[in-house]
Amino acid sequence: MGDRLAGRTVLVTGAARGIGYAICQRFAAEGARLALADIDADGVRAAAATLGPQHLAATLDVADVAASQARITGLIGDLGHLDILVNNAGYARYTTAFECTEADWDRMVDVNLKGVFFCAQAVLPHMRDRRAGNIVNMSSLAAKTGGVAAAPPYGAAKAGVSALTVHLAKVMAPFGVRVNALAPGVIDTDMVRGMASPGHADMARQIPLGQKGRAEDIANAALFLASDEASHITGEIVDVNGGLWMD
């Protein structure tokens, strides 16, 4: 237990499991009050319940812009104010350039890129007016490799998240709001295991540190970016990949 986020309020999307839930656990242990949001209504309620009664749960499909923005506005009201947004909600389905359907493309781009922007847009005026705030987006190693072990729309969407992060960091810096992103590599989560991509097994064997990452590794990096320890960092894309990509 610590107090690095004592008194801070946090909204985490994609919070029911995997990286999102690990982030919630880590932030709660550091004193934050959380609003957990996820498309899985039962899952997000169960996740919030494990953290304590002070934390909120909300059903949210980030690809549904009008509904998600309205829900986020309501959650800010419930929390009283919002200090930190973690744009973690993601969707991946393994496909190739030859097999990718329009439905595959739309869902991956809608969740992984459009959802990130419009969830951020929902909190920007609040953070601007308070002249304080922090946004952590979830990019990916796929943004740099082209998503060859994931899917064409996944890599394209995550590259968009990286570019969007830099744009928002520039726009919001005059208001004291920091915007950064994390770029996980091969992380041992249900989503990654469920993609059944042959490329992920090959990439995992090439990790210089010798093992896949854990959701907790991403949560620790997110905590750093969200804390005052990173007060002079904005517009940065932080790689968390065991050395699989070095630059």
Asked if the model's pLDDT at residue 247 lies above 90, the reply is: no
Residue 3 pLDDT level (bands cut at 50, 70, 90): very high
Burial of 181 (0-12, 13-18, 19+ CB in 10 A): buried
Domain ranges for the chain: 9-240
Express each pLDDT in 82-101 by its tens digit: 999 999 999 999 999 999 99
Find the length of the chain. 247
Q: Do 171 and 115 touch, CB atoms closer than 8 A?
A: no
Asked if the model's pLDDT at residue 110 lies above 70, the reply is: yes
**Chain center to CA of 24:** 11
Q: Is the pTM of this model over 0.85?
A: yes
Asked if the model's pLDDT at residue 109 lies above 90, the reply is: yes
Q: Do 175 and 127 touch, CB atoms closer than 8 A?
A: yes
113: DSSP letter:
I
User: Phi/psi at 14 (nearest 5 deg)?
Assistant: 60, 45
pLDDT on residue 235: 98
Express each pLDDT in 186-205 by its tens digit: 998 776 665 556 666 777 78
Express each pLDDT in 145-157 by its tens digit: 998 778 999 999 9
Q: What is the CATH number that goes with domain 9-240? A: 3.40.50.720
Residue 118 pLDDT level (bands cut at 50, 70, 90): very high
Q: Which residues are catalytic?
A: 154
Mean pLDDT of 60-83: 98
Q: Do 120 and 168 touch, CB atoms closer than 8 A?
A: yes
Nearest to 184 by CA among 132, 232, 221, 129: 221
